[in-house]
Amino acid sequence: MIAQCLSQDADLYVLDEPSAYLDVEQRLMVSKAIRDLMTQKGTSCFVIDHDLLFVDYLSDRLSVFLGEPAVKG
């Protein structure tokens, strides 16, 4: 499913929990593939995930939201 998403030609990819249910080896493979594709295509990726190490590897910038919602309406 991740490969299918990244095969699209987009300026921005939004990935929600791409490391969910993956073991350590699979997370490493997926994170490298995402990082390589972002570099090759020159695109951006917005990643929502609970695994901060996974997100940190992918990110140039990182935001962490704790407790309170980021936007209150």
pLDDT at 21: 92
CA 34 to chain centre: 7
**Residue 29 within any structural domain of the chain:** yes
- Give pLDDT, residue 17: 92
pLDDT of residue 22: 92
| 70 within a domain of the structure (yes/no) | no
Does 53 map to a domain?
A: yes
- Residues whose CB is less than 8 angstroms from the CB of residue 18 and which lie 6 or more positions away in sequence, other chains included: 2, 30, 34, 47, 49, 54
Is 67 part of any domain? no
Q: What is the pLDDT of residue 60?
A: 85
What domain range is 49 assigned to? 10-58
How high is the mean pLDDT in each 10-residue block of the chain (73 residues)? 70 89 91 88 88 86 76 59
pLDDT at 26: 92
Count up the domains in the chain and report the number. 1
CA 37 – CA 43 distance, rounded (Å)? 8
pLDDT (0 to 100) of residue 58: 85
